[in-house]
Structure 1
Amino acid sequence: MIALREAPAMETAAGESVSLDYRHQPGNFCLGVALRGVTEAVGLKLSEAEVMGLGGSVCFRYGADLPKRKFHLEVCHSGVDMALFGNLGILARQRRTTDRDWAERRMMELLREGRPVAVKVNPRFCEGVMRATPEALVPLLYIHWVVVSGYDAERDTLRYHDNTRFAAYDIPREEFRLARDSGPSVQNGRNTWLELEVPRALVPLDEACLQGIRQMVVSSKYLHGGEGYKGVDAATRYARHLKSWRTTLTADEIRGNALGMMSSITLGGALKGAGRRHYAAFLEAAARTLDAPVLKEAAAPYRALAGVWTGLYARFAAMAADPADDRLWSRGSEYFALLDALAAGEKNAADTLEAALAETERGRMARPLPSTRKAPC
C-alpha cells in the first residue's frame, strides 16, 4: 500500500491570512494540473500523464445534430477527477452550492486545515489562460480549473495557480467570488470545488494502473448509444460526416464547426495531440510499474495518433481561415487522408491496448503468490 502523510493543520483565526506551502507545476490540461496539485498536497506525486491515465481521461465521443448542422467532439472526458480518486482509493466529491458566502467560508476552512482547494471558475477572470489561448478560440472557453493556496487579509486577495505558468496569480476576493459563480463556468452547478477525504493508505499503484487501463478499454470499445456516439465506432462516423461538410454546410457553418473542433482537440489550445501523447506516456510508466513491456508497445499507436490529431488541428485552422479552399476537399487531400488515418488509428490503438491488457493480466495470474509460510527454526 502507498502510505500518505497528513496535511499540516494551520491554526489561523477567521479573517487572518493563510499561506500554504504548495508546490505547483504547470501543464497542458487545467483539471489534470489541479488534480496533480491536490493529490501531491496529501503526499502522492503523479505526473500529468499519470493523472490522465489513472483517471482514464482520454476518450472519443462525438455528437452530430445534423438538422442544426452542429458537431461536437470530446477527446478528454470531464469525469477524470472521480475516476482518478476512485482508482486510487480516495473518497472525494465535487461540491457545489448556489450560496456564494457558504462556498467562500468552506474554502477558507479547507485552507486553514492546510488543504489547497481546486475550484472551477469562469476563464474570463484568469489572465493566464486568456493570454495563452489562441484569440479565435477564446469565445469557446467555457470552464477553467485553478487551485487556491492562500489568502492575504491585508490586501483582501486570494492566491491561485493554473496550468499556464509556475508563478501564482493574485485576485481580489470579491472578483474571485464572481469568477466561480458566473458565465459558462456555472454549467452543471454553481460554485463548484473538489473535496478529498484522505485515507491512511491508497490502493496499490499497480492495481490502480490496471483499473485505469480497464476503464480505457471499456470506454473505447464497449460503450455505445446514449448522447452522441462513443468509442472507436464513433471515429468512423466522425470521418464520414466531416468529409461531407463542403456539400452540406455553408461557409460560416464550416468555419464555426472547424473552430469548435480546434478547441475540442486542444481543450482551448493548451493540450496538444488530443491528449494521446500524454496517454502514451502513462502506458510507458505503467509498463515499468507492472513489469509489463507489452504496455510500452501499446503506447506506440497512441503516439502515432497524437501526430494525426495535430495534423487535423492544422487542417481545421486552414478551414476556419478559408472554408472554400479546394485543396482541403478533394478525395486525395491530406485532410481526407488524416480523417481516414484517425478512424483506423483509434480502432488500432483500442485493439492493441485490449490485447496488451489481457496479456498483462495473464502474466500477473501466472506469477506465484508470496509465501506466507515461516522458515523452519
Structure 2
Amino acid sequence: MSIYLDYNATTPMRPEVLDAMKPYFDSHFGNAGSVHSRGREAKRALEEARETIASALGVREKEAVVFVSGGTEGDNLAIKGVAWAARERGRHIVTSAVEHRAVIGACRALEQQGFEVTYLPIDAEGLIDPETVERSLRADTTLISLMHANNETGVIFPIAEIGQLTRERGIVFHTDAVQTFGRLPVNVETHGADLLTLSGHKIYGPKGIGALYVRPGTRIVPQIHGGEQEQGARAGTENVAAAIGMACAVKIALESMPTEHYRLRTLRDRLETGILGRITGTRRNGDQDRRLPNTSNISFHGVREDSLMAALDLEGVEVSAGAACASGAPESSYVLQAMGRRPEIDGGGIRFSLGAATTEAEIERVIDLLPGVVERVRTATLQGAGVRVRA
C-alpha cells in the first residue's frame, strides 16, 4: 500500500463532501440563475454555501465571496482585476519572488501590458521582512500580493503586519491563502486582506472550485465576460454541486483544525528528526517554527530531486519535488533558489506534506526506508558522473 505525503498538491475528497454534493448532480440539478422552483432551490443552496465560507473568513457580507474555478483563477481575477481597475491611479504592483506560479504568471502578463512589478526577496529561511515591503512602496503602487504561506516550504509570511501597512497607505492587499485555509485560522479582518484566495481541493473538497474574497468597495475588472453571475465579478453558470462540496469541506476543516494542527506538527517533527538524524548531507529548507504544521522540505546533498522522488515512488512513497503546477519543469525550484540554495551543492529539495490519513506507522516506515533509498540514488548519481564508488 502506498504512503501519500503530497497533501499540499491535493487532498482526497471526504465521503461527507461527496454525499453533500450528490443530490445536486441529479434531483437538484437546477441552474441557480433560473427563476423556477428548481432554479430557486439551487440558488438557495449556493447562497448557503457562500454564507458558510464567508463566516469561516470572519465576513458578515456573504456577497463578498465570489466562487471561481480554483486558486489559479482566483489569483488571476484578484491581481489583474485590481490592476486594471486602478490603472489610472498607478501601475506599480508589489509581490514576492516565491509566490505561486498563478500569481507570478498574472504579474508577468501585466508586465507585458505596461505595468511594473517589484518581486521582493526572501531570506535564507524563506521569510519576508515587512520593512522590505514598506521600502518597495511608491506613490503609484496600487496592489500588493503576498501569499499567506509558501506551498513548497510551508513558511508563513507576516500577513497581518503587511495588511496593516497597506491599510495605512490605502493600497489594495491580496493574499493567496490556498495552503493555509483549513490548517490555520484565516480571518480577513485580522490579516487586513482586501482580497483573499481559497481552493476547494486543498481542504478535502472537490477540484474545480475555489473562492475569492473581495472586500466590499474594492473595485475589480472581471476577467471572464458574459452573464452577471457572482455579483458581476465572474460570468458563467455556477458550479452549485462543487460550491456545496467546498462549503461542507470548510465546516469539517474548521472543526478538526485544533486537533489536526497538533497531530500533524508532531508527525512532521518526528519525520524531520528521523531524516536529519539518520541521513548525512541533509538540510531543512524553511524556518523551523514559522511554517505550516504539515509541511517539511528537505534537501539531500548529492541527490537530484527528480531521481529521489522517482525512487521513492517505486517504494510506494508519494512525495513532491516542489509545487505540483511545476511538474515537468526542467529548472530547480525557484523558491529554494530565492533562499540561496544551490541544487548542484545542496541537492534537490523534496517536499513532504502530511494530511488527514497520515499515520505514525507511515512516518516510521518512511524514516526506515529513506536512508537506503538515498544511498542508492547517491551512488547512482556518482557513478553517472564518472566517479568510482568503492564496494
- What is the TM-score of this pair, normalised by structure 1? 0.30
Comparing both structures, which one devotes a greater share of its residues to helix?
A: 1
